[in-house]
Amino acid sequence: MKSFLQRFGSLVSGVLHGFDRLRFRGSKRLLCHPGGFFNFLWQVQVPLQDYKSYAKDTTVTLCKAIETEAKGAGLYRYLNNGWESKEEAALHQAARDNRRQGLIAVLGCVEPCQIVQVRGNKETKKLEPRIESGKCMHYYHYYLDADYGLRYTRLQSWFPFTMHVGLNGRDWLAQQMTKAGLAYHQKDNSFTWVQDWEAAQCLLDQQRKINERYAEALATVEDKTPLSELVQELGKPTKWKGRSVRALNPLAPADVELLEAINRGEFMLNGFRNRDLRALLFGDTPPPTPQEEKKQAAKVTRLLRLLRAHGVIAKVPKTHRYQVSAEGRRRVTDLLAARHANTEKLLKAA
C-alpha cells in the first residue's frame, strides 16, 4: 500500500481502512458434533434408524414455510447456478420491484455444506451420526437496512441448520455518512469521493469498536464462573461519589426488568439514554403528564446511578448515553440465563 501511494499518491484523494464484508456464523452446538447429535435424537425420541425420514420431514416443513411466505410476497427466486452473485440478484430484484427498505428478496439455491447423516459403523456394527460434506438447499434473505445498508441471512435447510449473517461494510459506512450529513460518491463497493475523509475514518473506527463489543458479548454465552461469584458483588451495597447505593437483587422483578432492558441487542451499538429506558420500563402505562414524566426521568436517573455504582454500565464521554461494560455484560448475561434456567439445568451446572 505504501509503495502504491508513493507512486500514485497525487491521484488519490483519500484512504479509508475498514471492513469490506462482515460474516457471522451461528449454529446449535449440540447439533454440530456426533456425540451431541446423538443426545439430541435421544431428547426428541427419534431412533437412529428413523433419522433420515425425520430429517427429510423437518427439511420439507422448513422449505415449505419459507417458500410459501416468500412467494406470496413476490420475493422468491430459485437460482439454478450456485455461483451466481446473490447480492446482484437481490439488488436487481429490488430495483425491478421498487423495494427500497426491509426485506427485498428471498433466494434459494443448492450449495455445498457440512450435513449430519446416520451411517453404519463396520467395526461396531451399529448406526452412528456423522458429519459429512454434502449439498442441500440454502435460503438467502436480503434486506436493505436503515442502519446497515445491504445485509443478508443464509440458512441451511438440512441438519445442523447452520445460519450465516452477512453485512457489507461499505454500505454500512454509507448509511453512517448519510446520517452524519457527510456527502460522498459511491460506485459499486467503493467511494470515489468523500467530503471529509477523516470523519469517515472515524465512523469506520466506530464499526471496529462495535464489532469488538459484539465479540465480547458472544464470549459471555457460556461462562463457567460460579453463580454465587456473579451475585456476590452485585448483591452488596456500595458507594457512588460518597453516597450509599443499595444492592442489586437479580431475583427481584423490578431489578430483573432493569437488567433485561439494558441487555437488549439494539443498545449494543450506540448505547442507551434515560428516555430509552423510560420507554421500556414505563411503556405499559398511560402517556404521562409533564409532572409524571419528570418523576419517571428522575427514577431512571437513580437506576442509572445504581448500575454505574456496581460497574454494570459506564457513561459514554461527552454524551447522554450509556454502555454496558464488558464485566457488566458477562454478569448480566449469566444472571439472566440462570434465572430462566430450570432446576435440572442449574443442578447439572453446579
pLDDT tens for residues 261-300?
A: 998 877 877 789 999 999 999 988 888 899 999 999 999 9
Q: What pLDDT, on a 0 to 100 scale, did the predictor assign at position 281?
A: 93
Which residues touch 141 (CB under 8 Å, ≥6 apart)?
103, 105, 106, 152, 153, 155
Q: What are 215-235's pLDDT values in tens digits?
A: 666 665 555 566 566 667 778
Residue 176's closest CA among 194, 144, 149, 195?
A: 149
Q: 223's torsion region: left (phi>0), alpha (psi -120 to 50) or beta? A: beta
Residue 229: its pLDDT value, please?
67
Long-range (24+ apart) CB contacts under 8 A made by 86-90 are 86/140, 86/142, 86/152, 87/142, 87/150, 87/152, 87/168, 90/140, 90/142, 90/150, 90/152
**In the structure grid, which three cell numbers stand for residue 182, read together?**
457527510
pLDDT at residue 340, rounded to an integer: 61
226: left (phi over 0), alpha (psi -120 to 50) or beta: beta
The pLDDT of residue 235 = 81
- pLDDT digit string, tens, across residues 137-180: 999 999 999 989 999 999 999 999 999 999 999 999 999 999 99
Q: Measured at the alpha carbon of residue 285, what is the angle toward residues 284 and 289, in degrees to the nearest 5?
A: 145
For residue 1, name the pLDDT band (cuts at 50, 70, 90): low
- Residue identified by cell 398511560 is 286
Cα dihedral 85, 89, 92, 98, rounded to 10, equals -140
For the cut 60, the answer to whether the pLDDT of residue 343 exceeds it is no
Average pLDDT value for the chain: 88
Tell me the fold of 227-349.
Arc Repressor Mutant, subunit A (1.10.10)
Backbone angles phi, psi at 16, to 5 degrees: -125, 140
pLDDT value of position 225 = 60
* Residue 241 backbone zone (phi > 0: left; psi -120 to 50: alpha; other: beta): left
- Whether the pLDDT of residue 339 is over 70: the answer is no
Average pLDDT of the residues in 38-61: 95
pTM for the whole structure? 0.68
DSSP assignments along 214-263, one per residue: HHHHHTTSS--S-HHHHHHHHTS-EEETTEEEPPP-TTSHHHHHHHHHHT
- Max Cα-Cα span within the chain: 78
Residue 330 confidence (pLDDT) above 60 = yes
The better pLDDT of the pair 278, 7 is held by 278
Domain locations in the chain? 13-20+168-218, 29-160, 227-349
pLDDT digits (tens, 9 = 90+) for 95-117: 999 999 999 999 999 999 999 99
pLDDT (0 to 100) of residue 350: 46
